[in-house]
Amino acid sequence: MGVTRVREPEKEKEKIEKIEKKVKKPEERKIVSKLVVRIANTDLDGNKQLVYALKGIKGIGYTMAKAICIASGLDPKRKLGTLSSEEIELLEKVIRNPKEYGIPSFLLNRRKDLETGKDLHLVGAELDIAKKFDIQRQIELRTYRGWRHMLGQPVRGQRTRSHFREKGKVVGVIKKAVKAKEEEKKKVSK
């Protein structure tokens, strides 16, 4: 007959405890992720990588976002929601004054500004206001581009045959109602 082995639970628990003591568990870090982060008066998604999240700010593209990450010393692939408040403040400083942090002037969106003569980088509402004033200045100077803006026509040489029409105007197609009125006029004139 065979010998049956009876397990002793106390001895097994001791073995497991010894093994657990030998194996070091990595320290668990609690990563608190914010869902929405506010940078430069813009709400950004905290689940996106830093480079792609910064693209959500008006006036910042991919190249500028990458340059901002490098200038601030942050990993571009890091999630935006994991940044501390000090790192977010640093990002805002770099966005406001990119030249001070070593970002080259060819990446800035307003080089040799007409009023100040300096290289600037505008974001958000500042960019919209500057663009509006530039268009207004062209209209007042009566430049060709100003005329095109004033008339609501394409400014950069696009064709106007099929696009840029005001809503409702049709060229080359006669609507039924218009066609009926024309026929009535012809009958009346005969």
pTM metric for this prediction = 0.66
Structural domains counted in the chain: 2
* Residue 176 included in any domain: no
Residues 96 and 135 in one domain: no
pLDDT for the residue numbered 48: 93
Residues 58, 123 contacting (CB under 8 angstroms): yes
Domain that includes residue 100, residue range: 36-107
Residue 179 lies in a domain: no
In tens, the pLDDT along 14-66 reads: 777 777 666 655 554 555 667 888 998 889 999 999 999 999 999 999 999 99
My answer on whether 51 and 103 are in the same domain is yes
Report whether pLDDT(112) > 80: yes
CATH value at residue 81: 1.10.8.50
Q: Give me the pLDDT at residue 187, please.
A: 82
pLDDT in tens, 119-157: 999 999 999 999 999 999 999 999 999 999 998 888 888
DSSP state, 182?
A: H
- Considering only CA atoms, which of 98, 138, 134, 137 is closest in space to residue 118? 98
* CA 57 from centroid of its chain's CA atoms: 5
Predicted local distance difference test score (pLDDT) of residue 26: 54
Q: What is the mean pLDDT of the chain?
A: 84
Q: What is the sign, positive or negative, of the torsion defined by CA atoms of 125, 42, 50, 74?
A: positive
Q: Does residue 41 share a domain with residue 92?
A: yes
Residues 76 and 134 in one domain: no
Provide the pLDDT confidence category of residue 114 given band limits of 50, 70 and 90.
Answer: confident
DSSP-derived pairing of the beta strands 36-39 and 42-45: antiparallel
pLDDT, tens digit (0-9, with 9 covering 90-100), for 54-88: 999 999 999 999 999 999 999 999 999 999 999 99
Same domain? For 103 and 131 the reply is no
> Positive or negative CA dihedral for 46, 49, 51, 53?
negative
Based on the domain organization, do 133 and 159 belong to the same domain?
yes
- Do 98 and 41 fall within a single domain? yes
Q: What integer is the mean pLDDT of 93-98?
A: 92
Where is the domain boundary, 78, 107, 136? 107
Query: Within a domain: residue 142?
Result: yes
